[in-house]
A and B are shown apart, each in its own frame.
Chain A
């Protein structure tokens, strides 16, 4: 795998900065014009948040949730939902299609290496992820009176680690999929089990003990736990953060080994 060519050179040389800027601009345009990713990664989680906020049953505090409302429980889950969609669909779909179309091949005949396109795409998706995290938190506070997060730093660290763990999974999908459609199918298939452990269908607090313990050591389970802790109690404990960091390293190594440009 070609490394993300010379970041220092990229930052210092104005011409190369301009080249990266124009890649970034066109990737942003494509993300906007091919809205499936923005819909699944941004509109659906925010829409679900609003829907849940309007449902009276989500205002109640069922037993087993430690006095939390269902809405409180679902805010971090939906936050993770968006991050997962952006990483599992938003990143691999365009990359697989660029390889399929020969965009990466054409790029490798220019002074700009294809790794820059990957970096531009990742930048766009991570920007969308930041917007999604902010939107979920702001909507939950402004529209539904949720308390402000106890630890903003915890949200930032937990979200960053969740993104760092999921982006290589997206690259791995892009490596395995030969077409954009295949990437979409694999991304969705990976989404369901990962999000199950984050508590999308059954709140983690209501899971049987064994399942709950397993969930805490899955990437999105750890992410949901760390973000929920940041919101409700304070800076998250070290275990979920280390879990996310470990996944980030392992997935990055695997993705770097398997990713192919052609």
Chain B
């Protein structure tokens, strides 16, 4: 804690605004300095090619201890390759990686002891029982978690004696998360962890992840669910064509996407526009018939309502519109992020992204 990007700082948008563009990827200051210690995950100028295909062009980011860091991007953007390099599964062509100060290529055993990984498209033997699988993976680690507790937290207790092949997609996914956490890792890397889960199971998983973070675990989350990134992530890196397009808090990215939020209302009485334009949160005030549309940033709605209230005006028929990460992605890359879901989502990215 106490380093840039730590949980406290990570939630303060102003401290982290990055000027990322296609030509100059947003790179954390720390990463450009080279590899500094203190961060849980340090990726610096990572590059990985498969033949002539450039999977990861130039990716840098730094994840502070205790942070939930999201990696977002469309299919083939290089997300999976980035995390596979980060955990030592693949050898980068260029760049440096440190996990808790360790080089995963040089010290794979030590890295694997403290980093739990949930890979997408990774199944298990059909005729092993849930309990047998967890007990086996538990035996791999020096300081394993309590299997019963872990199963309880993931809603797998009733499935302990079931064969893997009898599990639903959601149950398999939860077992996969359990395997990533069974070694009580300091860093958990979760690739598309809620893909294939129904909305309720997804929310349960989010609760679990927040619980894991409260125990001080740093989490790197690869996802294409906006809601997931907005709910869980302290910061998000948008990756496109093997580069970091932008990196910020989810709210910060969303604000930048359309120049902020809008508040639309019907004033109970005429008022001087300067009442609102003087507010630091407000960037623009427009009138459309009787309606007033205010564009701005930060706690815009509160500021507008309080200010109107002080002048004895009620904002009727109030509508709030805040842009989200999805808008941010479209704005920053020129295409929707959602194509991934339309093309079948997880499992297709595999080795080539």
| Residues in A lying within 8 Å of B, measured CB to CB | 15, 18-19, 21-23, 25-26, 29-30, 33-34, 94, 97-98, 101-103, 105-106, 108-112, 262
Contacts and interface: CB of A to CB of B under 8 A. Distances in A.
Contacts of A111: 109, 112-113, 140-142, 183
A26 B139 CA distance: 12
B94 to A, nearest CB: 21
A109 B139 CA distance: 14
B109 to A, nearest CB: 6
A29 B132 CA distance: 10
Contacts, number: 69
Given A30-B127, A103-B124, 16 more contacts: A26-B128, A26-B132, A29-B127, A29-B132, A33-B127, A101-B122, A101-B123, A102-B123, A105-B89, A106-B117, A109-B87, A109-B117, A110-B112, A110-B137, A110-B183, A111-B183
Contacts of B142: 15, 111
Contact of A109 (B112, B124, B135): B112
Nearest to B117: A109
B125 interface: yes
For the complex of A and B, 3 pairs with smallest distance between CB atoms: A102-B122, A109-B117, A101-B123
A30 B141 CA distance: 22
Nearest to B180: A109
Contacts of A102: 119, 121-123
Interface string B73-106: 0000000000000010100000000000000000
A105 B135 contact: no
B245 interface: no
Nearest to A33: B127
B136 interface: yes
Chain B interface size band reads 20 to 34
Contacts of A106: 117, 119, 122, 124, 179
Most buried by A among B112, B115, B127, B140: B140
Interface string B171-194: 000000001000100000000000
A25 B112 CA distance: 22
Mostly helix, strand, loop or mixed at chain A's interface?
Answer: helix
Contact of A110 (B121, B125, B140): B140
Contact of B119 (A21, A33, A105): A105
A100 B254 CA distance: 40
23 contacts: A15-B139, A22-B135, A26-B125, A26-B133, A29-B128, A30-B127, A30-B128, A94-B125, A101-B125, A102-B121, A102-B122, A103-B123, A105-B119, A105-B122, A106-B179, A109-B116, A110-B112, A110-B140, A110-B141, A110-B183, A111-B140, A111-B141, A111-B142
Interface string B29-73: 000000000000000000000000000000000000000000000
Nearest to B179: A106
Interface of B: 87, 89, 109, 112-113, 115-117, 119, 121-125, 127-128, 132-133, 135-137, 139-142, 179, 183, 351
A52 B137 CA distance: 46
A29 B136 CA distance: 12
A101 B176 CA distance: 13
B125 A22 contact: no
Nearest to A110: B140
Given A26-B128, A108-B89, A109-B117, A19 B140 contact: yes
Most buried by A among B112, B113, B121, B179: B112
Most buried by A among B124, B133, B139: B139
Nearest to B123: A101
Contacts of A98: 125
Nearest to B176: A106
A102 B141 CA distance: 20
Most buried by B among A98, A110, A112, A262: A110
A258 B296 CA distance: 61
Contacts of B141: 110-111
A112 B137 CA distance: 9
A183 B42 CA distance: 41
Nearest to B127: A33
Contacts of A262: 351
Contacts of B117: 106, 109
A105 B128 CA distance: 17
Contacts of A23: 136
Contacts of A33: 127
Nearest to A102: B122
Contacts of B112: 109-111
A120 to B, nearest CB: 10
A16 B123 CA distance: 24
Contacts of B137: 110
Nearest to B128: A26
Most buried by B among A21, A105, A111: A111
A90 B32 CA distance: 52
Contacts of B122: 101-103, 105-106
A91 to B, nearest CB: 15
A33 B132 CA distance: 13
